């Protein structure tokens, strides 16, 4: 019998700290104080909350700090419930299942300059990377933080602001800065990244469209509304490890078909931006509609929540 891979680790909440702007820092650690699975700067983890919700957050501590996971959560009163549950219900000592970390930022050996642009609480993944780069001196970097007025995580960002590594732009005073001016000239030795509201990330994506794809990283707060394809055709999913075949009806998502077939797939955003439902594919012609996988990754993976198929049969690594 093939052992099932570990998909979550047990953690306990060891600290909850007020961090300004309606934001709290949550620290998670192994109950027996073992090191946690390693991660890249700004990697994502899924929290399996006590109320049954699964929500994705970026790690804001750096990879060398491997005895804990630290996330920053802004309470969204009109959100989907995850941030409210964390702020209102979770206490120190609570047990929370956490997925293995995935994704994150990594500057290759050829990268000499990094520029990060963050909107509000979108600074969290870049705080992790900024701390890492400040310690290792791997590459020069600048983090531009765009806020209306109040700076989130001010205590954590303070030393970097004092060093000139983080520049705060307050739109209530000066309006939103020109993104192209912040980023500067592109090139193979420059990596840029953006996380923030939809308008900002859309502008950033257009501005960097001609850049090498491997040098551009974009994260979004909210998944776009799903677009229904009126010409969608049914297709078959073949699961390579078991030989199971699952029919995907016209207009049905791959994720829904897999779940109907009793296949457990991790989910969170259900809109192709968080990476929770990443699945390997082996044969066929997938249609990629996510906003997170690189061109290289799409040669091997797809996001089951939004992906489709341009062939009658698609073989998954499941």
> pLDDT digits over 49-104, tens only?
988 888 889 999 999 999 999 999 999 887 777 899 999 999 999 999 999 998 88
Whole-prediction pTM value?
Answer: 0.80
Between 111 and 226, residue with greater pLDDT = 111
Structure confidence at residue 15 as a pLDDT band (50, 70, 90): very high
- What CA–CA distance (Å, rounded) separates 318 from 211? 34
Q: Average per-residue pLDDT in the chain?
A: 90
* Arithmetic mean of pLDDT, 139-156: 94
Beta strand segments in the chain, E = 8-18, 23-29, 44-48, 54-58, 69-74, 95-99, 113-119, 140-147, 166-170, 190-196, 216-220, 235-239, 245-248, 278-283, 286-287, 301-303, 308-309, 313-316
Superfamily of domain 8-99: Translation factors (2.40.30.10)
Strand partners of residue 220: 196
Structure confidence at residue 2 as a pLDDT band (50, 70, 90): very low
pLDDT exceeds 90 at position 237: yes
* Arithmetic mean of pLDDT, 153-172: 95
Counting other chains too, the contacts that 26-29 makes at CB distance below 8 Å and 24 or more residues apart are: 26/70, 26/71, 26/72, 26/73, 26/86, 26/90, 27/68, 27/69, 27/70, 28/68, 28/69, 28/70, 28/71, 28/96, 28/98, 29/67, 29/68, 29/69
Look-up of token digits 């979108």: 122
Closest CA to 221 of 73, 54, 62: 73
DSSP 242: T
Six token digits for residue 197: 């509201």
User: Domain 113-220, what fold?
Assistant: Rossmann fold (3.40.50)
pLDDT exceeds 90 at position 108: no
Q: What is the pLDDT of residues 163-179, one digit of tens each?
A: 999 999 999 998 899 99
DSSP 59: B
Which residues make up the CATH 3.40.50.80 domain(s) of the chain?
113-220
Structure confidence at residue 225 as a pLDDT band (50, 70, 90): low
CATH number of the structural domain 235-316: 3.10.20.30
Six token digits for residue 146: 């765009």
The CA-based angle 37-121-77, given to 5 degrees, is 105
Q: What is the pLDDT of residues 259-293, one digit of tens each?
A: 999 998 888 778 888 888 899 999 999 999 888 78
């Amino acid at each position: 019998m093939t052992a099932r891979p570990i998909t979550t680790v047990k953690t306990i909440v060891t600290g909850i700290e007020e961090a300004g702007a309606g934001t709290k820092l949550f620290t998670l650690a192994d109950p027996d104080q073992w090191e946690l699975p390693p991660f890249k700067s700004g990697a994502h983890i899924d929290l399996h909350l006590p109320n049954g919700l699964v929500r994705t957050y970026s790690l804001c501590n750096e990879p060398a700090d491997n005895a804990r996971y630290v996330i920053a959560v802004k309470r969204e009163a009109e959100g989907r419930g995850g941030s409210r549950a964390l702020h209102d219900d979770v206490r120190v000592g609570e047990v929370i299942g956490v997925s293995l970390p995935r994704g994150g930022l990594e500057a290759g050996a050829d990268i000499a300059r990094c520029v990060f642009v963050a909107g509000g609480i979108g600074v969290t993944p870049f705080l992790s990377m900024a701390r890492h780069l400040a310690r290792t001196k791997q590459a020069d970097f600048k983090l531009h933080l765009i806020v209306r007025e109040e700076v989130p995580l001010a205590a954590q960002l303070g030393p970097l602001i004092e060093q000139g590594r983080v520049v705060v732009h307050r739109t209530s005073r000066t309006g939103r800065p020109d993104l192209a001016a912040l980023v500067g000239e592109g090139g193979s030795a420059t990596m840029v990244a953006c996380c923030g509201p939809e308008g900002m990330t859309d502008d950033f994506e257009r501005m960097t469209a001609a850049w090498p794809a491997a040098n551009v990283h974009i994260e979004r707060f909210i998944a776009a509304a799903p677009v229904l394809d009126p010409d969608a055709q049914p297709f078959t999913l073949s699961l390579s490890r078991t030989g199971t075949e699952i029919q995907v009806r016209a207009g049905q998502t791959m994720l829904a078909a897999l779940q109907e077939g009793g296949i457990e797939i991790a989910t969170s955003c259900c809109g192709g931006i968080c990476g929770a439902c990443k699945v390997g594919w082996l044969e066929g012609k997938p249609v990629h509609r996510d906003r997170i996988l690189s061109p290289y990754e799409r040669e091997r993976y797809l996001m089951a929540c939004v992906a489709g198929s341009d062939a009658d049969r698609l073989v998954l690594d499941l």
